[in-house]
């Protein structure tokens, strides 16, 4: 797979083989219809690839098959909003032959970095119902904590070991994902026990994350229901007044 192919097609999903996973939990993650066992992840820092590559043979980190970079052309505003309005108004002058898009936007190069890695068939620990998520965390906390300590013994600090970054595969195996340098670092020496999380703290953090997301989702669903209810009331009043 060449970098140019992805850069040309990953944003243009209509009729393309490469398409976005489409889940808010996994932004900038793409799949290839021709390679269902591969996953394409846009990254901000090459060190994420390097960290993942260092850990891939431990059995609980997806295998990494390559790092690529290329350039993508994107359109950005050429003028302020006020200037765009003036330009748009002037463009309707019969003597003007410039296209609105040409007037308002210009193309710039944007560097794109991505890695091709193994796709783990399963779900993150916040992908299912809140009850299932909590149950899975409690069931697998011993294994999660064991893997956390394996990384700590190797000198890896995970500043964001979150439920959304833990995958439970379809065959019941735990995987850690997302080694963005913002959340992970390699100290090159074992992390002292005094600086590690206890199993109880880790469990509490994961359950708190699930409850927070569930609470946010509940509020969002209630807002949606209220909005629909208000629309129905408005439509009913309009019919009554006719």
Q: Which two tokens stand for residue 28?
A: 């900038």
Structure-block tokens of residue 193: 């026990």
Q: Evaluate whether 204 touches 89 at the Cβ level (below 8 Å).
A: no
Instruction: Return mean pLDDT, the chain.
Output: 77
* 113 CB-side CA count, 13 A: 10
- For residue 163, how far is the Cα from the chain centroid? 13
pLDDT of residue 228: 62
Q: Give the pLDDT band of residue 214 (cuts 50, 70, 90).
A: confident
For residues 181-209, average pLDDT: 91
pLDDT of 119 above 60? yes
Rounded-to-integer distance, Cα 133 and Cα 166, Å: 11
Ordered domains of the chain (ranges, CATH)? 1-77+108-119 (3.30.200), 121-209 (1.10.510)
Among 173, 163, 172, 177, which residue's Cα sits nearest to residue 133?
163
pLDDT at 118: 93
Taking the C-alpha atoms of residue 22 and residue 28, their distance in angstroms, rounded to an integer, is 9
Cα separation, 156 vs 97, in Å, equals: 60
Q: Measured between alpha carbons, how far is 46 from 49 in angstroms, rounded to an integer?
A: 5
Nearest CA-CA partner of 140 in 168, 121, 116: 168
* pLDDT (tens digit per residue) in 28-87: 788 877 788 988 888 888 999 999 999 999 999 999 998 888 776 666 666 565 665 555
**Residue pLDDT, tens place only, 135-181:** 999 999 999 999 999 999 999 998 878 998 999 999 999 999 989 88
pLDDT above 60 (res 210): yes
């Amino acid at each position: 797979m060449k970098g140019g192919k992805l850069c040309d097609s990953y944003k243009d999903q209509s009729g393309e083989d490469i398409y976005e996973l489409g889940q808010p939990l996994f932004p900038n993650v793409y799949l290839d219809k021709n390679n269902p066992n591969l996953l394409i992840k846009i990254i901000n820092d090459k060190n994420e690839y390097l960290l993942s590559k260092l850990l891939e043979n431990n059995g609980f980190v997806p295998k990494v098959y390559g790092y690529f970079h290329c350039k993508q052309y994107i359109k950005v505003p050429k003028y302020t909003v006020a200037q765009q309005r003036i330009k748009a108004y002037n463009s309707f002058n019969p003597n003007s032959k410039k296209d609105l898009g040409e007037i308002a936007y210009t193309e710039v190069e944007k560097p794109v970095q991505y890695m091709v890695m193994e796709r783990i068939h399963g779900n993150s620990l916040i992908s299912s119902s809140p009850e299932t998520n909590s149950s899975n965390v409690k069931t697998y906390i011993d294994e999660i904590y064991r893997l956390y300590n394996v990384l700590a013994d190797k000198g890896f600090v995970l500043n964001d070991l979150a439920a959304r970054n833990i995958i439970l595969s379809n065959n019941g195996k735990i995987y850690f994902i997302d080694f963005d340098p913002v959340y992970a670092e390699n100290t090159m020496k074992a992390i002292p026990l005094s600086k590690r999380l206890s199993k109880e703290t880790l469990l509490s953090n994961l359950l708190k994350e699930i409850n927070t997301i569930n609470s946010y989702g509940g509020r969002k669903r209630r807002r949606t229901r209220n909005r629909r209810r208000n629309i129905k009331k408005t439509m009913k009043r309009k019919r009554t007044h006719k």
